[in-house]
């Protein structure tokens, strides 16, 4: 009998109208890294919320046995006292407070009178050393990148005497390098005897780090796969997740790249909006043909999003210089509205933050960028027409929503992404810049997004895809640009490109600096 730190037995959790978990079983051995995989909506996060007491005892049925005793957690604090700490996908850090202050938030080191700051900073230092964070403990959270913020979260968990660490999509907003560092850190902790549960969409990471992999689908446990030998086939996991063979992760397409250039950018330089002397994008030139998908690879902070947004009507940056040609004609786009009218679309990487209006309906979101197209005389909205438009895109993109009157905030990540794409397709863009179009969405939805991209180029549109996932860049693009630290460092045809070549291009350009932003 194995030494199980955690056994969850027959967990069933219902929400009004939905059975989110249906007799789910999970067994985690002491000292292992256990991965939980499944498509969006499979119930992974719900299961972890049950475990951590966010859904208190009594709102679910089934048993949780932790360290041999049955647990009934009523609040998050109950589970944390037992050493179960969950780190959510959206980090819970306060930007204006320092690393140390964040680390002990709600868990303050108290002295005789108020907080014992000396002890706080001393302990913060030691936990930061454990996770390999070399910044000062006084540094504000807003001044460090997402990768380091993730490390702060882990250090925060260590400060709570964590025995069972749960990470929900820890690498979804990290680049490959930071992701690898984080995973290696988990492996290091494992050697010291810590148990972790990791929820992830990234199959390669799961295969790399996990000893066992439990697959959830539609709220039920499908199987637990042993990976102690690190010999699992990635397709084997995907098959379990989607319940079918996914023979190819990237849909085939016929290439009809025209000779005409859809968009060309020459000598584009962008300065930081606040620190105006800092150059974010330095003398960038690139082009995309009609019917072509061009990929932008690079690490986080390479300046790709900033480049895209500055092109899109100067929505980022100051002191922007350079030339922009759309359809062969030079244009000067000073506002988002002008960019849209010129046939440009920027589909943001942050669909919740600046993509969709979550408390509005799918239909409202769908038409927002070109509301005039559904308006009659005097700017009066034809709601019937608006709904028909939304309905049309719902069918075309196979968006799963009960109706177009559903609030965008109630949809899953993949479906929100489809609504966002619908919005920009409705805006009649000829050149679409897709920024991390598949971030945080599951394998099935990714495939559908890829199909939509193929449709777009088949119609003769130009697509620029910014992505930090190299397999996706290699699988989908015709040509690849590599950026690093605001500079264009390589351009390659997909036929010649490999992950190693892209990484090499990035690393070769990094001679002076050893860390990205």
Partner 1 sequence: MNVKAVIKKYTMVIALVAVFALFAFLTQGRLLYPQNMSNLMLQNAYVLVLACGMLLCILTGGNIDLSVGSTVCLVGALAVKLLQVTSLNAIVVILICLAVGAVIGVWQGFWIGNIHIPPFICTLAGMFLFRGLGRVILASKTIAVSDKLFLNIFASYIQIPGLDNEKKWSALIVGIAVAVILLITLFTGRASKSKKGYTLEPLAPSLLKMVVIAALVVFYSNKLANYKGIPVMLLWVLAVVFIYAFITSKTAFGRYFYAVGGNEKATKLSGIDTKKVYFMAYLSMSFLAGLSGLLMAARIGSVNGDTGSSFEMDAIGSCFIGGASAYGGSGTVAGICIGAIFLGVINQGMSIIGLDNNWQYIVKGAVLLVAVIFDVVSNHKTGKAG
Q: How many residues are given for the chain? A: 517
Does 59 interact with partner 1 (rule: CB under 8 A)? yes
> Which residues within the stretch 18-57 sit at the binding site for partner 1 (CB under 8 A)?
54-56
Burial 246-281 (b: 16+ CB within 10 A, else e): eeebbeebeeebeeebbbbbeebbbbbeeeeeebbb
On whether the CB atoms of residues 471 and 478 are closer than 8 A, the answer is no
Cβ of residue 161: shortest distance to partner 1, in angstroms?
23
Q: How far apart are CA 33 and CA 211, in angstroms?
A: 5
Does 106 interact with partner 1 (rule: CB under 8 A)? no
Q: Please, which residue, 54 or 181, has the CB nearer to partner 1?
A: 54
Does 359 interact with partner 1 (rule: CB under 8 A)? yes
Q: How far apart are CA 170 and CA 180, in angstroms?
A: 11
From 83-91, 135-143, 332-340, 479-487, span contacting partner 1 (CB under 8 A): 332-340
> Which residues within the stretch 409-428 sit at the binding site for partner 1 (CB under 8 A)?
423
Tokens 């989110």 belong to 20
User: Which two structure tokens, joined as six digits, stand for 33?
Assistant: 């890294």
Does 451 interact with partner 1 (rule: CB under 8 A)? no
Cβ of residue 344: shortest distance to partner 1, in angstroms?
10
Does 78 interact with partner 1 (rule: CB under 8 A)? no
Q: Which of 94, 115, 187, 357 binds partner 1 (CB under 8 A)?
A: 357
Give the closest residue to 310 by CA, choosing from 321, 299, 297, 295: 321
Q: Please, which residue, 369 or 452, has the CB nearer to partner 1?
A: 369
Does 358 interact with partner 1 (rule: CB under 8 A)? yes
Cβ of residue 45: shortest distance to partner 1, in angstroms?
15
Does 504 interact with partner 1 (rule: CB under 8 A)? no
Helix (H, G, I), strand (E, B) or coil at 315: coil
Does 61 interact with partner 1 (rule: CB under 8 A)? no
Pairing of strands 261-271, 344-347: unpaired
Cβ of residue 126: shortest distance to partner 1, in angstroms?
31
On whether the CB atoms of residues 13 and 59 are closer than 8 A, the answer is yes
Cβ of residue 186: shortest distance to partner 1, in angstroms?
30
Q: How far apart are CA 262 and CA 255, in angstroms?
A: 16
From 270-278, 322-330, 345-353, 481-489, span contacting partner 1 (CB under 8 A): 345-353
Give the closest residue to 212 by CA, choosing from 193, 226, 222: 226
Tokens 């957690």 belong to 73
Q: Which long-range contacts (CB under 8 A, 24 or more apart) does 504-507 make?
A: 506/298, 506/299, 506/482
Residues linked to residue 221 through DSSP beta bridges, in sequence order: 216
Does 339 interact with partner 1 (rule: CB under 8 A)? yes
Q: Which of 378, 395, 495, 512 binds partner 1 (CB under 8 A)?
A: 378
Cβ of residue 54: shortest distance to partner 1, in angstroms?
8
146-159 and 176-191 are packed helices; what angle lies between their axes, rounded to 10 degrees? Answer: 20
Cβ of residue 219: shortest distance to partner 1, in angstroms?
18
Q: Please, which residue, 193 or 379, has the CB nearer to partner 1?
A: 379
From 132-140, 284-292, 370-378, 451-459, span contacting partner 1 (CB under 8 A): 370-378
User: Which two structure tokens, joined as six digits, stand for 72?
Assistant: 């009934």
Q: How far apart are CA 35 and CA 200, in angstroms?
A: 7
Does 364 interact with partner 1 (rule: CB under 8 A)? yes
Cβ of residue 41: shortest distance to partner 1, in angstroms?
19
The phi, psi pair for 155, rounded to 5°, reads: -60, -35
Cβ of residue 205: shortest distance to partner 1, in angstroms?
30
Q: How far apart are CA 383 and CA 364, in angstroms?
A: 9
Q: Which of 92, 94, 115, 371 binds partner 1 (CB under 8 A)?
A: 371
Q: How far apart are CA 369 and CA 426, in angstroms?
A: 8
Does 438 interact with partner 1 (rule: CB under 8 A)? no
Q: Which of 149, 348, 399, 406 binds partner 1 (CB under 8 A)?
A: 348
Does 217 interact with partner 1 (rule: CB under 8 A)? no
Q: How far apart are CA 148 and CA 158, in angstroms?
A: 15
From 155-163, 280-288, 331-339, 472-480, span contacting partner 1 (CB under 8 A): 331-339
Cβ of residue 376: shortest distance to partner 1, in angstroms?
10
Beta strands in 78-211 (DSSP E): 84-87, 164-168, 195-199
Does 315 interact with partner 1 (rule: CB under 8 A)? yes
Cβ of residue 375: shortest distance to partner 1, in angstroms?
5
Q: How far apart are CA 479 and CA 477, in angstroms?
A: 6
Number of shown-chain residues binding partner 1 (CB under 8 A)? 35
Interface residues toward partner 1, by CB under 8 A: 54-56, 59, 312-313, 315, 335-337, 339-341, 346, 348, 353-360, 364, 368-369, 371-372, 375, 378-381, 384, 423
């Amino acid at each position: 009998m194995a030494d199980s730190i955690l056994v969850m037995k027959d967990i069933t959790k219902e929400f009004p109208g939905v059975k989110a978990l249906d007799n789910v079983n999970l067994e985690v051995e002491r000292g292992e890294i256990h991965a939980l995989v499944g498509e969006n909506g499979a119930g992974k996060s719900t299961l972890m919320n049950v475990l951590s007491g966010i859904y208190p005892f009594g709102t679910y049925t089934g048993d949780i046995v932790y360290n041999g005793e049955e647990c009934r957690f009523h609040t998050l604090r109950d589970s944390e006292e037992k050493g179960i700490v969950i780190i959510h996908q959206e980090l819970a850090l306060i930007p204006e407070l320092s690393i140390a202050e964040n680390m002990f938030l709600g868990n303050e080191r108290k002295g005789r009178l108020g907080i014992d700051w000396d002890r706080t900073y001393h302990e913060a230092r030691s936990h930061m050393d454990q996770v390999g964070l070399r910044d000062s403990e006084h540094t504000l959270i807003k001044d460090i990148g997402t990768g380091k913020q993730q490390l702060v979260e882990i250090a925060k968990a260590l400060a709570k005497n964590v025995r069972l660490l749960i990470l929900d999509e820890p690498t979804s907003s990290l680049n490959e390098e930071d992701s690898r560092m984080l995973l290696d850190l988990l492996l290091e902790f494992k050697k010291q005897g810590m148990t972790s549960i990791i929820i992830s969409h990234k199959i390669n990471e799961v295969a790399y780090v996990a000893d066992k992999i439990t697959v959830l689908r539609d709220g039920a446990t499908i199987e637990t796969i042993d990976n102690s030998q690190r010999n699992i086939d990635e397709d084997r996991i995907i098959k379990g997740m989607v319940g079918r063979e996914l023979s190819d992760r990237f849909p085939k397409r016929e290439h009809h790249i025209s000779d005409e250039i859809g968009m060309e950018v020459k000598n584009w330089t962008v300065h930081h909006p606040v620190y105006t002397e800092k150059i974010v994008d330095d003398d960038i030139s690139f082009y995309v043909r009609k019917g072509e998908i061009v990929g932008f690879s690079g690490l986080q902070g390479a300046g790709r999003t900033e480049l895209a947004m500055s092109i899109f009507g100067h929505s980022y940056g100051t002191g922007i210089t350079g030339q922009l040609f759309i359809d062969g004609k030079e244009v000067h786009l000073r506002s988002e509205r002008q960019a849209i009218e010129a046939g440009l679309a920027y589909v943001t990487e942050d669909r919740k933050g600046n993509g969709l209006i979550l408390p509005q309906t799918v239909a409202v979101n769908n038409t927002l960028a070109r509301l005039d197209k559904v308006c009659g005389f005097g700017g009066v909205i034809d709601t019937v027409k608006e709904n028909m438009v939304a309905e049309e895109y719902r069918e075309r993109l196979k968006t799963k929503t009960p109706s177009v009157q559903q609030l965008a905030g109630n949809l899953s990540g993949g479906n929100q992404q489809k609504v966002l794409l619908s919005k920009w397709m409705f805006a009649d863009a000829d050149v679409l810049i897709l920024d991390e179009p598949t971030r945080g969405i599951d394998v099935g939805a990714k495939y559908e997004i890829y199909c939509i991209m193929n449709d777009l180029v088949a119609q003769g549109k130009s697509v620029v895809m910014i992505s930090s996932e190299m397999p996706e860049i290699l699988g989908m693009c015709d040509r690849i640009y590599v950026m690093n630290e605001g500079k264009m460092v390589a351009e390659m045809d997909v036929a010649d490109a490999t992950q190693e070549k892209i990484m090499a291009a990035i690393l070769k350009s990094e001679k002076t600096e050893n860390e990205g932003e």
